[in-house]
Amino acid sequence: MKKTLALLLMVVMILGLLPMTAFAADGDITVDFDSYTRVESCNTTTFDVENCNYIVAFKGNNYVVWTLETLDSKEKDSFIASFAAAADEANFQNIDKSGKNITFIYGSGDTATCDGMYIDGSTLGFDSTSKWSQYAYGYYTISVAVTYTVTTGIDNDGTITETASYNEGTDVTIEYEAADGYYIASVTVDGGTPDVNTDQRVTADSKQFLDIGADHSVVVTTVLKTVPAVTHTVTTGIDNDGTITETASYNEGTDVTIEYEAADGYYIASVTVDGGTPDVNTDQRVTADSKQFLDIGADHSVVVTTALKTVQVTTYNVTTQISHGTITPSASYNAGTSVSINYSAANGYYITSVTVDGGTPFTNTDKSVTTGSQQFDDIDADHSVVVTTARKSSGGNSDDGGDDSSTPTETDLGDTSVPLASAPPVEEPVQVAPVQEEPVIAEVEVPLGNLPQTGTTQTADALKPMWAVTMMALAFSIASAGLTISFGRKKEDEKENSFSSEK
C-alpha cells in the first residue's frame, strides 16, 4: 500500500509540472494543472487550499468543481475543456466533458459542501462517509482575446457593412453599394489617399482585411450618375405588307422580343438575324413567329421574307337548270362555302318540281308558287338543282285548266337562257284600223294561238279592199254565232309564296 501511495504521489508531482494552453475567445480559462490523489477515503481528511483557486474532486462518475470566483456558463465550458485537455495529456483521471455529472461550488470564507466534501475557508475536507477517490487543484486565469475594430461609412443612402470588432487573426470583408442612380466615386481606407473612380457603371465593391491585426476604417463616397444609359438598336424589316415590331433602341441589359406576322395569304419564308445565314421555312402554315434577344448588349437586326401560299383550294360545282324562268347560274365554290340557289318561273308560269342532286323530285301543284331557293351549307361535294315549270291556265280546252308542262333546259355558267315553248299572252286586244282604200297595218307581234312561236316579227302586207271586206264579214259572222275572240288573257295575281326544297 505504501509503495502504491508513493507511485501516485510521483504521478501527481509530474502532473503538477504540465502547463495548460489558453483558448483565444472572450472569457476563455487557462488552467495551471496540479493534482493529488486520495486512495483511502475511510478517514476524515483535510487539506489546506490556501494556495490554489480551483479544486476538482472525483468520485465514480460524479465531479465537484470548486472555484474561487463565480463562473458564467461560457467560462464553465472553457474550464472543463481546458482541464480535460491537460488531464488527457497527463494520463490523469479525466473530467466528464459533457458536463452532465459536474457540480460547481464557489467562494471563500463561507462553507460550501457537496456529497461529503466540504470547503471551509482555505480548508478542503472529507467526512467519514466520503468515498471521494481523487482530486486535483491549482490555478486558473480568465483570459480575454484581443479584438480590433473596423469603422465604416458611406454617403447618399448607400449601404456598407456596419462598424464592428473582430478577433485578432480574423479575415474581414467590408462590402458596400451605392444607392439607385449613384455610382462609387471614391474609397478611403485607414484615412489614406482616396481611391478615385470615374466609371459610372461601378455601383458596388468590397474591401478585405486578411488576418486582422489592427484597427481599420473604410469610408466610401458616391456621386449621382450624369451620363445617359447605354442603348442598343434592333433594326427590323418584313416584305409583302407583313407586320413586325418596329426598329427601336433599348437600354443595355434589356430583354427584347421582336414579333412578326405575314400578310393574309402569305407565310414566313425566311428569317435573317444580324445579317447571318437565313433561317429558311417551307411550312406554309407558319404565318407568325418571334425572335428574342436576352440581356441585350449589342445592336441587332431581324429581316423577314414572306411568300405567297400555293396550297390548292378545294372547290365544288353546283349545276343548275330551269325551264321558263331564271336560276342562279351554275358555278364553282370553295369548300366550306354556304351557297344559296335562287330560282323564279317566267311570267305566266309556276314551279312544278325541284330535283336536288338527281334524287326524287319535290313536286308542286300550287300555281301561285313562282319562286324558291335551295341552300347548301358548308359545301363539301358537287350538287345539282333542276327546276321544272308549267304554264298557268290561259282559257284553252285542256281538262286541267290549260297547263302546259315544259322540259327544263340547262343554263350556261353565268348566263341564263330561257327557251320559249309557247307564245306569251298578249296583255291587250289588238285593235284593227278602219278599212281605207289602201289600208296598212302597223308592225306588231301577233301571237299564233298555241302554235310554237318562231321568235320572228310578223309584218302584214298592205290589204286589198276585198280582203278587208272578207275579214269584216267573217268577224260579223263569228259574233252572230255568239262567240267572242279574245287575244288577251287575264293576268294571274303574283303571289310571294316560295316553293323550296332542301337537300
**138 and 7 both lie in a single domain:** yes
**215 and 255 both lie in a single domain:** no
Containing structural domain, residue 260: 232-308
pLDDT of residue 5: 32
Catalogue the E-assigned strands of 309-454. 315-322, 325-327, 331-334, 339-345, 349-356, 362-363, 371-376, 383-391, 404-405, 409-410
**181 and 208 both lie in a single domain:** yes
Count: domains in the chain = 5
Residues in contact with 448: Cβ distance below 8 Å, sequence separation at least 6, in sequence order: 423
Please tell me the distance from the alpha carbon of residue 283 to that of residue 266, in angstroms, as a whole number: 11
Mean pLDDT, 10 residues at a time, over the chain (503 residues)?
33 34 49 57 59 76 80 85 76 65 72 66 65 71 84 95 93 97 96 95 96 96 87 96 96 96 96 97 94 96 95 87 96 93 96 96 94 96 97 58 50 40 44 46 43 43 50 55 40 42 42
**327 and 304 both lie in a single domain:** no
Three cell numbers, residue 326: 331564271
Q: Are 444 and 427 in contact (CB under 8 A)?
A: no
**156 and 139 both lie in a single domain:** no
- The answer to whether position 261 is within a domain reads yes
Q: Which of 149, 178, 181, 153 is nearest to 166 (CA)?
A: 149
pLDDT of residue 126: 67
Q: Are 387 and 325 in contact (CB under 8 A)?
A: yes
State how far the alpha carbon of 213 is from the alpha carbons of 87, 204, 217, 268, in Å: 33, 26, 13, 70
Please tell me the distance from the alpha carbon of residue 248 to that of residue 42, in angstroms, as a whole number: 101
Please tell me the distance from the alpha carbon of residue 436 to that of residue 465, in angstroms, as a whole number: 8
Torsion region of 367: left, alpha or beta (phi above 0 gives left; psi -120 to 50 gives alpha): alpha
pLDDT of residue 71: 86
Instruction: Compute how many other C-beta atoms are within 10 angstroms of the C-beta atom of residue 16.
Output: 16
Let me know if 423 is exposed, middle or buried by CB neighbors in 10 A (0-12, 13-18, 19+). middle
**245 and 118 both lie in a single domain:** no
- The answer to whether position 114 is within a domain reads yes
Q: Are 182 and 160 in contact (CB under 8 A)?
A: no
